[in-house]
A and B are shown apart, each in its own frame.
Chain A
Amino acid sequence: MVRRSPYPQWFYLPAGVVYGVLFVVPTFASFYFSLTRWTIFESHFIGLDNFVAFFREPALVRGFTNTLIYGVVTSGAKVVLGLALAVLLTSRIVARGWLRSVVFFPVLVSTIGVGLTFTVLLNPERGLVNQVLGAAGVDGPGWLTNPSYALLSVAMVDVWKGVGLATLIYIAGIVSIPQEYLEAARVDGASAWSVFRSVILPLARPATVTVIILSLIGGLRSFDLIWAMTRGGPGFTSDVVASVIYKQYQAGFAGLSTAGNVVLFAVVTAIVLPLSRFLNRKEVEL
């Protein structure tokens, strides 16, 4: 027999109402509106036409490619850099506490603020970055204005801003590894590299899973930084799915952009759900 909770069920109500009104109702409403031609003022039911139009959107293929590149690049860089920084910051070094806060600091700054600051720094003619490069005799590229670099420049800034969180998760993961393993490894004469390779890396796996999942979801639905820095430009070259959707919404194609959001929701779920299952299963087997 299921043990009855001492509290009545209606204690769920306040949270349930907030969740229902602010999350469940809009989500299901958006499924409906994605099937309409919706001008904000009125809507006509048009079946699946929005999805057809959305998939015909020329910027979309580019948007999806860019989204994947952006998600994989930022997520990968955060794992590698975050792990490296975490190993450094859990070792016995001078000013460790201070360095930890320095690494974490960019996470606390507003994304839009970071975006605008870096837009100024990366200006090809007058920006600090290219002036410094110029002083060193290197001709810096148009970081945000050259179609080949724009997306990667934004990804770089995203990594700068987000690596602190990845580091924090890794620090927690590494610190929670029982000292006995490390001591045993040292007694066996393991080098620093093999301690890292055979003890820290496998035992910090839950941290790796968390970092990959969080940063991949973040990267796949990233929007604010890209919008603040390039607005998807030059032209459409750094558009991601979210910025394509936002531009459609701005243009007043509310039904079309809602259809886009439903697609984005499905895509992120389709990528992250199996990935999370896969990574977590490995963890159990370990």
Chain B
Amino acid sequence: MRPHIIVAALTVLALSGCSAGSLGSSEDDGDGVTLSFLVDNSETNSKIAEGLAKDFTAANPGITVKVEVRPQGTEGDNIVKTRLSTGDMTDVFQYNSGSLLQALAPDKNLVPVDDPGAFDENFSTSVTSNGKVYGVPFGGYNAGAILYNKAAFAKAGVSVPATWADFMANNAKLKAAGVAPVIQTYQETWTSQLFVLGDFHNVSAAEPGFADAYTRNQTKYATSPAAVKGFQRLRQVHDAGYQNKDFASAKLDDGIRMLAEGTGAQYPILSGSIAQLTANFADKAKDIGLFAIPGDDAAKNGLTVWAPAGVYLPASTEGAKLDAAKKFLAFIGSAAGCDSQSQAYPPTGPYAVKGCTLPADVPQAVKDMQTYIDKPGASSLALEFLSPVKGPALEQICVEVGSGIRTPEAGAKLYDEDVKKQAQQLGLDGW
């Protein structure tokens, strides 16, 4: 009998020891409430979070918001999932919308928001699960597009390409002018995926209904002629020698520097990187424009858009903290919240809160992005917001295809295998 008691006592001790320290309830002063707020550690997002925390605390005496940071990418996914499953999550947290959110099992782990009507529909759909809206938008829309250096374009005598053929012709001229035509930065693997993910508007223009068929396992990257092109084009750019020489060892920072200094002409990347560009190369930002990843048909070409991340309320937040957290979420999803974010960091895309406008002095690339979004039919959400199916290994596969290690067809096939695991994990029909 005794051993059981000791085991039980030890287990209880170990478990309570884990949670007491991290809840931080002892830090409350007087009758005030302290909310912990977990965000990823990118410069943009941590600054936006600090700005929101500061402005909200100023407007709501008695509630203090403390920002905690976590790593980005898969390591961050891991932390969020582990903390949610152990009930050890912060009082509110920021995380991706779309397929990554679905993997958090929102119905079980999160609290729905009170007033979902205040948001743009593209955002609401990407944080909806079983008819309930679970998040408020954090930051603005992002585009998976090509940032280009206008000075380098002028020097080589080329203009914004309308089709992939134009793009490749431009690259030849840019290379002849002594500029690296396409910047790739494989040391930070996520940056390798834009030719595939950013091509989705072109894919769905060529094959309407691709996203639904894809979710139901009726079409695949390897078998869809439109979808496999992303992989083929990634390889074409490598085989033609259009990448910067140090593509294998360069990082995002290096890519932005090359683009700003004009040693590289075009950088397929998420438009959120404009923030980093304006912060580090303020005088060069007006020289940097943006265009959608070109496809075969100039008339159908358009921009692939990423919905903003969300701020969520975990089911573990209770009592006074829950009320305070709801207030904080309402603040983030209001016009005052947008202003607070714009002040904290120059915005890099339109907000998803209805009635929020961008300041007039946004960088040129953001204006270019707005042109696509304002034109009907010239933009669509990325696949990961229309389908919960997204494989985790795409970045490594793209690095291999873009480095000439694997053929595009084999890459597409491998990605289809990768995706299957995710779909099975989510328990989708047809897999």
Name A residues whose Cβ lies closer than 8 Å to a Cβ of B: 13, 17, 20-21, 37, 39-42, 44, 53, 56, 58-59, 123-125, 142, 144-147, 231-237, 247, 249-253, 256
B400 on the A face (CB < 8 A): yes
**Contact for A41 among B77, B109, B187, CB less than 8 A:** B109
Tell which of A41, A44, A124, A237 touches B246, judged by Cβ atoms closer than 8 Å. A124
Q: Which of A20, A44, A256 contacts B421 (CB 8 A)?
A: A256
B425 touching A124 by the CB < 8 A rule? Answer: no
Closest chain-B Cβ to A229's Cβ sits at a distance in Å of 11
Per-residue A-contact encoding for B95-122, CB less than 8 Å = 1, 0 else: 0000000010100110000000000000
Nearest Cβ distance between residue A134 and chain B, in whole angstroms?
14
Cβ-based interface call for B240 (8 A): no
Give the 7 A-B residue pairs with the shortest CB-CB distance, closest first: A235-B400, A251-B392, A145-B248, A250-B74, A40-B85, A41-B105, A235-B399
4 further A-B pairs in the complex, CB-CB below 8 A; given A40-B84, A231-B189: A142-B249, A145-B186, A235-B403, A250-B74
Closest CB-CB distance, B111 to chain A, in whole Å? 15
CB-CB < 8 A to B169: which residues of A?
A: none
A84 to chain B, nearest CB (A): 33
- Bound-state Cα–Cα, A53 to B422, Å: 12
User: A23 to chain B: closest CB distance in Å?
Assistant: 14
| CB–CB A42/B392 < 8 A | no
Q: Is B292 at the interface (CB under 8 A from chain A)?
A: no
By beta carbon, the residue of chain A nearest B391 is A251
Q: List 12 A-B contacts (CB under 8 A).
A: A53-B421, A59-B393, A124-B246, A142-B248, A231-B189, A233-B186, A234-B400, A235-B403, A250-B77, A250-B78, A251-B392, A251-B421
Is the C-beta of B176 less than 8 angstroms from some C-beta in chain A? Answer: no
B417-430 near A? 1/0 per residue, CB < 8 Å:
10001101101000
Q: Which residues of B contact A237 (CB under 8 A)?
A: 400, 405
From A20, A41, A145, A247, contact of B249 by CB (8 A): A145
Interface bracket on B: 35 or more
Tell me the chain B residues, 1-47 only, with Cβ under 8 Å from chain A.
Answer: 3, 6-7, 10-11, 14
Residue B81 CB within 8 A of the other chain: yes
B273 at the interface (CB under 8 A from A): no
Hey, which chain A residues are within 8 Å of B422, CB to CB?
Answer: 251
| B contact residues around A39 at 8 Å (CB) | 103, 105, 425
Q: Is the CB of A17 within 8 A of B403?
A: no
> A21 contacts which of B11, B249, B417 (Cβ < 8 Å)?
B11
Complex CA–CA separation, A56 to B421 (angstroms): 11
Q: Given A58-B417, A142-B249, A252-B103, does the pair A233, B396 have CB atoms closer than 8 Å?
A: yes
B75 to chain A, nearest CB (A): 7
- By beta carbon, the residue of chain A nearest B74 is A250
Q: Is the CB of B405 within 8 A of A247?
A: no
Please, how many angstroms separate the alpha-carbon atoms of A253 and B423 in the complex? 11
Q: Mark B399-418, 1 if CB is under 8 A from A, else 0.
A: 11001011000000010010
Q: B residues within 8 A CB of A251?
A: 74, 77, 392-393, 421-422
**B405 contacts A13, C-beta separation under 8 Å:** no
Contact indicator B249/A235 (Cβ below 8 Å): no
B407 to chain A, nearest CB (A): 12
Q: How far is the CB of A200 from chain B (nearest CB, A)?
A: 44
Q: How far is the CA of A23 from the CA of B81 in the complex (A)?
A: 23
A42: chain B residues at CB < 8 Å are: 105, 108
Which residue of chain B lies nearest to A127 when distances are taken between CB atoms in the complex? B249
Smallest Cβ distance from A227 to chain B, in angstroms?
Answer: 10
User: What separation, in Å, do the CA atoms of A58 and B418 have in the docked complex?
Assistant: 9
Q: Is B343 in contact with chain A by the CB < 8 A criterion?
A: no
The smallest beta-carbon distance between B114 and chain A, in angstroms, is 24
Find chain B residues with CB under 8 A from A256 CB: 421
Query: Taking CB as reference atom, which chain A residue is nearest B246?
Result: A125
CB–CB B396/A236 < 8 A: yes
Cβ of B82 within 8 Å of any chain A Cβ, yes or no, is yes
Task: Looking at the assembled complex, report how far the CB atom of B392 sits from the nearest CB atom of chain A, in whole angstroms.
Answer: 3
Of B77, B81, B84, most buried by chain A (CB within 10 Å of CB) is B81
A124 contacts across to B, CB distance below 8 A: 246, 248-249
Are B85 and A234 closer than 8 Å at their CB atoms?
no
The answer to whether A233 and B249 have CB atoms under 8 Å apart is no
- Does B397 have its Cβ within 8 Å of any Cβ on chain A? yes
B399 interface neighbour in A53, A146, A233, A252, Cβ under 8 Å: A233
User: Given the complex of chains A and B, what is the CA–CA distance between A234 and B401 in angstroms?
Assistant: 10
Name the B residues within 8 Å of A20 (CB-CB): 7
Q: Which of A37, A56, A146, A249 touches B424 (beta carbons < 8 Å)? A: A37
In the complex, which residue of chain A has the Cβ closest to the Cβ of B400? A235
Report whether A17 and B81 are in contact in the complex, using a CB–CB cutoff of 8 Å: no
Q: Is the CB of A233 within 8 A of B189?
A: yes
Q: CA–CA, A199 to B11, complex, Å?
A: 54
Task: For residue B409, give the distance in angstroms from its CB to the closest CB of chain A.
Answer: 14
Contact B3–A17 (Cβ < 8 Å): yes
B249 near A125: Cβ-Cβ < 8 Å: yes
Give the residue among A123, A235, A237, A249 with the most B Cβ atoms within 10 A: A235
Is A40 a contact partner of B399 (Cβ separation < 8 A)? no
Q: B397, A235: Cβ atoms under 8 Å?
A: yes
A166 CB, nearest partner CB in chain B, Å: 31
Q: Which A residues touch B10, using CB under 8 A? A: 17, 21
Cβ proximity bits B58-89 to A, threshold 8 Å, 1 near / 0 not: 00000000000000001101100110110000
Pairwise interchain contact B6-A13, C-beta atoms closer than 8 A:
yes
Q: In the assembled complex, how far is the CB of residue A58 from the closest CB belonging to chain B, in whole angstroms?
A: 6
